Amino acid sequence: MDLFTDLTGMARTFPLMRGGGALLVLVGLGLIVGGAGGRSWLLPGLITGAAVSVLVLMVGGITKTVFSGLGYPAIYQYVAFGIGVVVEVGLVNLVVAKVPDRESREFWLWILLVVGVHFLILAFSHGPICGLLGLLCILNAGLGLLVPGIPYRALWVSDGVLKVAAGTVMVWLSYLGVAADSAP
């Protein structure tokens, strides 16, 4: 399968794409609300988006909606997913150790950059859209780190918009692929 021309087949190759896309949409919405709401909304928006996304994935897993019509991921995809999570946790711990001010612009931009790095690894489990999202998130956070005049809440919101857009495409393609398989 050519990942760049067979978009409907992408979800069959990366069944984790649907659940990952749903998670991205909800976390992205939390980032947008948090960034737009003001400094005191940043963390609550992120936590709420993450909590709702975990709830949705639990329900989707129990009802088997997450993989409906897609099949199940290959073992290497679960391994890549696990590696991505371990790398993210390790890098977040590094940021926590190196940037002691958890309220600072620098702290939050490094966190956004770390999340982007972990998306590069998740490209092997969730597909190329996740890899592209990783590059865009790294560029967004890197721009903020290099240009201190850009309000970091704007970068927080743009990071959320990137996640909502990528997640929406991932979910849409996963259902488009199933519909294409069902067509006569």
Please spell the DSSP secondary structure of 100-159, one letter per residue: --TTSHHHHHHHHHHHHHHHHHHHHHH-HHHHHHHHHHHHHHHHHHH-TTS-HHHHHHHH
Whole-model pTM: value is 0.89
Tell me, what's the pLDDT at 82? Answer: 94
pLDDT tens sequence across 122-153: 999 999 999 999 999 999 999 999 999 999 89
Angstrom distance (rounded) from CA 98 to CA 86: 18
CB atoms within 10 A of CB 123: 19
Tell me, what's the pLDDT at 181? Answer: 59
The residue ranges of the chain whose pLDDT is under 70 are 1-6, 8, 177-184
Angstrom distance (rounded) from CA 26 to CA 53: 6
